[in-house]
Structure 1
């Protein structure tokens, strides 16, 4: 590779003329194929089974197919498929209801690995099968190893306790609050038997925050990481387990600064990596604060997020505008940020070194610039906090820069596959998340797309002539490349956006076309310049230019989002998701006309998604029992005037809900407590306080009146006591906040929901009881009207679907822990 050449896309040898020659001279084909079979190397794994070959005549299409297969083999594309099967193995291991035995899985991996080695000279179809099985089982073994390494203790139930620990990270929010990441040293009043090692806590105090590395103490409300909001949605407990976060919550009042725990700050436990981590955290905070103070507003918060990955300071409206405009990917430390930063440094450093007289003739300035870019992206990953998406991008960019040292193509499918293999070997759990899937889908599609574009027929003729392109042609090529990359990146990630987030930005292509020139020319280059000048105190003006670019980007996002172009897709069927994803992989990895098979698979996935429209449930219950909604014709009628946005927004997107019907308030039916001596208000076994008994007749009359006077499909609520409604299939439901009303609700309703941790699990009347205790084990619940014989009193039968079927996996096992006995209660989910 000459010094004047930039990063190139790996090119293929043209086989089109050879294919036409083979079609015209049939007698020479068998000899050619036989000769290539004898010289097949270990990388030639793509082959058509010999048994099937013998059954079909040697037609032209068969010859063309075999030639295409030989061309794929010549590229050594077996390596490209290795991370696919490795990732599928990890994905399968995480999706199992119970953990497969590690030793059994490892033994099977060894058996198939030895079989692949022994069959290296056998018919290739068996060798391919053994290799695929080995990779698949290797993915399972890697997933099991990572799960065992983490061993995160997740809090079992919400609790209020006095917590003391050490601040290891902190981040400001858009309201001026502080969110601390704390290593827990001690809990008291009560002392937790299974205290999580690391928690994140929000402090609503705007006072000076506690320094990183300092001790912190205060009364805090801790909760376990939430599970899926609906069956099939994202499990946040899974994410927290692999991030090492055992609980989330908030402080009551202002936390106090105390001496750091001695087991963390002194003695042999004060290891070097703890000190390095605290130093980097302080550096991140300093850089983020300087950027926000210089630029200010949402532009400053976004600028800090691009450098340090701290996104909580960005206001909610701006984040929503960026999402609706298809620009939310800009906020993440992703491949885009890394490529722009590394590319800017590489081009700038190479240009500067080329201007030094005699240096370009003595040293390879391109490799020197690549070495500098490699150091720069390493510092970037340190200052960004090491988020998973940033690590993925760093590995990929580092491999591409290292390829420059060996005069290899820096942008190629092999480098993408190699980076995916490294990530899957270190963190196989990343394969389940949208970040990994969308990042590699976009990168794979862009590399494959540009490769085909560079090799299009007639390109040499069009680009020939020896004349240098003028400025207009160069600008046209820049914007054409921007349009093409935005289109490819948007289309390649659509299925993952719909599958994980259940929404698409209809005008995302327009938003990216308008905003990407600003990001590429003003934002990232000046961000890099500001970081290089910050140690010398000369970063103000580059940051102001960066801020101006971000202000324009926010204006573009607001304009595009005002068009109302967000499309809510709802839950995508698993079959459609897998088919479309598999088709995309085939279309990108195959380089001959066999890539059309990927288009066929994608079409099959689209047809499967169109044909299998998911039915909406009639009733949805959140896992904490506080939010219940009846679903009818795209509208949700809930028992909350202001449903919690975290859960309800997921319901709206997953079930494609357009409206929300608030409950009717019936304060006139409130039952007042009878007078009782304070001595009767003593603690009970389930953690509640005794209250005076209620008038059962009055309570029964109140719930009957609620059910009779409220229209079907809408809740009527008595504040702080209970709500009641009649679901369209005819079921009567009561949601109870005051545990004294549970018995009456069981007598009058068919379904009773309460967040209270009741000591019993069933209603004596036979009604379905979903309490905090049972929902803890089932997670969120969906209830459908079942097709079949009617239930009691001729009412429509119910089909209940729970978010959690089994509680044996490490990220769900905490739900079976009983803090009274200190044991895990294993049994069927009720």
Structure 2
């Protein structure tokens, strides 16, 4: 069967798979591996592959696969070295001056700037990031790209995983070149003076972003509301201007893929242009007979796709869609089939070679999974049609023929939606812990004809007519179509949206992906091996869901704590941040949190000024100890800006300390203390102390008490401990001592290692 697959030329289809697996393996390692041993092994495997190239079977496949796998690892290391992004080590408030490289407005009229940092002051950051993403919440006249702005800012490192096994946002920020995120206090100031000199490539890129911003603004002015923001997102990939309500409705209804410039948008735009040019040229028989009309149309479609990509902001999904479309259109020049798995594999290989880190993102995985499944399904249907020629329809009637044509179109959308949603289900479950229900099928069935026949054609014609000022009618028609799509999304979202699945086993994604690829890429009966692999992945998923939930969750900054008990989940925050709690809720399938009981705020000084920081009296310390010892079970009791406490059903007391002066009292009264601002890392009482310095190194924590009061029987699962990679190394930097230190307090280290405290 292997020889049969080789005879069909399917070996090339697995080249990007093996290269991508090598890159994914390198990114998943907890420590940076040495480059030289892998390079020597790569050369050795390459030489062996060259020697055995004329052999058959596994003798040729194994060295080639090993060389490709090691090549993928080296590509990943090369990209990491090429980026070398400096990530901010800890949150800080400072004066920042820098140059605006990009800007984008959101639904509330607030501007977000990507700023190249020039200098910082008060305090000066010792390891300043090169680029930061800053939100200006105050209303102001926006700064143009290339202008220098300054202001007081609060910046923080990109967020790590909200729980072990979840998405590490610092990874994607590192490869995007963004070292910190934050916001301006007040209005950013424009600095006078000439613009700093830049390389021609930077000037060209800046001009493209200015053009992109101008086009997006023009569309939003022509088509007001969410429909205009939706239209601007489809054309320029500026998505922040779409309201949260519409974004959530699109997500719940399974239509969010329309917003991004992905393969669908690029294929529709290029396909409409290709068919349009070819149709127009066919009206001139002499020209059509003398010149290759199909290739001319393909060249025009390629130019159009290139222009579309240049104003898209160079997003990941747009880059991938453009490469795939370019490969397919170039295939027309050489009289090769445009729609084939080989072209999909070539596109994937190009993207992995340029940006290996993209293989770990849901966008890459879901896009290529859907594309490969659709192409394989098309090939299967085409081969079946050749073997079983359908009998011609005997009935020719003006009514019957359009009905049959409409049915074929609807059946095509239905089949496409089913194949696309099924092929991306495993990646949706892995990354978003949810799976689309029947609503997504209904929404796509209703919305895709509008997108295909109204929105994209009107948008394409409108953009071609922008230089002549004749675009308004077509853009408004595009807006009407998108209003209908938004209405469909809201209606379907009201049905209940998608179903929660929860966090998956670490082996779920690699095993299920292997099974999916075998079923999709192979042609012989060897592909049936994918079925038991998919079944094994489902068993891994069931095993993960059968595990007991942890007892305590701690966010990476220590400001939010959750206790999971029989009564539900209790938190120390009246309004838990949705960014964190939303991830907890989806990963562990939690319900709405039980709010804490908050005591009345302490009396303020008569003059209204904040109380000066002073040493606590012995009476205040004793009062704090007493209050912590008396906290109830099942829900938090909080004193604002001081501490919160809760007791588990087993009697273990947990204290969350905001005012570091009370950390010592909490050590005396509680068993677990989370104190982000505490200066010490262990309690004399033997209680477990987790301070901010430890949390920076461990990331978010899951603590399992196993129903025991004995600390030696507890276990802690960290999100980041033991990881020392370029995108996580900032967590170990001690700015006071100007050095990297990864050591954890001994008690915490033993609980993480499962050795007991």
In structure 2, distance between residues paired with 1:467 and 1:185: 75
Contact 2:652 2:709 in 1 (8 A): no
| 1:302 aligned to which of 223, 230, 234 | 230
Aligned to 2:171: 238
| 2:340 aligned to which of 389, 412, 437 | 412
Q: Mapping of 1:300-699 within 5 angstroms?
A: 300-456=228-384, 460-462=388-390, 470-506=401-437, 507-613=439-545, 614-632=547-565, 635-667=568-600, 691-699=613-621
Are 2:15 and 1:82 equivalent residues in the alignment? yes
1:394 is displaced (CA, Å) by 0.5
Contact 1:674 1:694 in 2 (8 A): no
Are 2:612 and 1:700 equivalent residues in the alignment? no
My pick for the range that moved more, 419-428 or 458-467, is 458-467
Aligned to 1:42: none
1:596 is displaced (CA, Å) by 2.3
Contact 2:571 2:594 in 1 (8 A): yes
Aligned-partner SS, 2:271: helix
Q: 1:260 to 1:530 in 2, by over 3 A?
A: farther
Aligned-partner SS, 1:801: strand
Q: 1:373 to 1:458 in 2, by over 3 A?
A: closer
Contact 2:628 2:666 in 1 (8 A): no
Residues paired across the two proteins, number: 740
In structure 2, distance between residues paired with 1:769 and 1:753: 6
Are 2:691 and 1:771 equivalent residues in the alignment? yes
1:422 is displaced (CA, Å) by 0.5
Which structure 1 residue ranges, 5 or more long, are not aligned? 1-67, 682-688
| 1:825 aligned to which of 722, 727, 741 | 741
In structure 2, distance between residues paired with 1:97 and 1:260: 47
Q: 1:463 to 1:72 in 2, by over 3 A?
A: farther
1:785 is displaced (CA, Å) by 2.2
Q: 1:460 to 1:709 in 2, by over 3 A?
A: closer
1:427 is displaced (CA, Å) by 0.4
TM-score, normalised to structure 1, is 0.86
Aligned-partner SS, 2:630: helix
In structure 1, distance between residues paired with 2:564 and 2:381: 48
Pairwise CA RMSD of aligned residues? 2.2
My pick for the range that moved more, 338-347 or 450-459, is 450-459
Q: 1:70 to 1:465 in 2, by over 3 A?
A: farther
Aligned to 2:754: none
In structure 1, distance between residues paired with 2:460 and 2:722: 48
1:690 is displaced (CA, Å) by 6.8
My pick for the range that moved more, 633-642 or 797-806, is 633-642
Are 2:739 and 1:808 equivalent residues in the alignment? no
Aligned to 1:53: none
Are 2:219 and 1:291 equivalent residues in the alignment? yes
Contact 1:786 1:796 in 2 (8 A): no
In structure 1, distance between residues paired with 2:368 and 2:567: 34
TM-score, normalised to structure 2, is 0.94
In structure 2, distance between residues paired with 1:729 and 1:439: 48
CA deviations on 1:617-662 (whole Å, 9 max, x unpaired) are 1100000110111123593210000011111100100010122110
In structure 2, distance between residues paired with 1:204 and 1:616: 39
CA deviations on 1:310-343 (whole Å, 9 max, x unpaired) are 1111111111111110111111111111111111
Contact 1:634 1:655 in 2 (8 A): no
Are 2:662 and 1:741 equivalent residues in the alignment? yes
Aligned to 2:672: 751
1:118 is displaced (CA, Å) by 1.5
Aligned to 1:220: 153
Aligned-partner SS, 2:475: helix
Are 2:64 and 1:131 equivalent residues in the alignment? yes
Contact 1:294 1:300 in 2 (8 A): yes
Contact 1:166 1:261 in 2 (8 A): no
| 1:760 aligned to which of 680, 689, 699 | 680
Q: 1:565 to 1:545 in 2, by over 3 A?
A: same
Q: 1:403 to 1:816 in 2, by over 3 A?
A: same
In structure 2, distance between residues paired with 1:321 and 1:374: 33
Which structure 2 residue ranges, 5 or more long, are not aligned? 750-757
Aligned to 1:48: none
In structure 2, distance between residues paired with 1:434 and 1:102: 28
1:144 is displaced (CA, Å) by 0.3
1:285 is displaced (CA, Å) by 0.5
